[in-house]
Amino acid sequence: MTNLFGTAELEIRGTLTRIYWQENGRVIAAVRAPGHRALTVIGDMLEPVEGQEYVFYGQLGPNARRPGEQQLSLAGYRTILPESDAGIYHYLVSVAKWVGPRVADAIVKAFGPNR
């Protein structure tokens, strides 16, 4: 995939594990992604959620503040919605903050495998 400037952008699927800093729609966060030992993403991201899986798009380079780590400068991202019972439960409790653990459990059980 190339951007408007003709440079190649990577697509990395991973789980946001820790938000280091977040302000005015900008974020610096750690991501666990297959094939990457340590990865930090930096860029525009609205309402990032720790534990949520995303596909990140951007330019990969060295992390100047953490030698040996990689940094992805975000050009964009998309959220991967969970499909497993555990993933749906986590999503409801973490993202839909008005849904508590008991209600989330009841929702998952009510819809079961026939979602």
pLDDT score, position 5? 46
Tens digit of each residue's pLDDT (9 = 90 or more) over 43-64: 999 989 888 899 999 999 888 8
Parent domain of 92: 85-114
**Residue 73 and residue 29 in one domain:** yes
Q: Would you say residue 1 lies in a domain?
A: no
**Residue 108 and residue 89 in one domain:** yes
pLDDT score, position 115? 59
**Residue 50 and residue 106 in one domain:** no
Q: What's the CA gap between 86 and 84, in Å, rounded?
A: 5
Asked if the model's pLDDT at residue 3 lies above 90, the reply is no
Q: Would you say residue 5 lies in a domain?
A: no
Q: Which two tokens stand for residue 3?
A: 């951007």
pTM: 0.76
Strand pairing class (26-33; 70-80): unpaired
pLDDT score, position 33? 95
User: Residue 97: CB partners within 8 Å, gap ≥ 6?
Assistant: none
What's the whole-number average pLDDT of the chain?
88
The DSSP element (H or E) to which 69 belongs, if any, is none
Please list, residue by residue across 49-77, b when 16 or more beta carbons sit within 10 angstroms of its beta carbon and e when fewer do. Answer: eeebbbebbbebeeeeeeeeebbbebbeb
Asked if the model's pLDDT at residue 66 lies above 60, the reply is yes
Asked if the model's pLDDT at residue 95 lies above 80, the reply is no
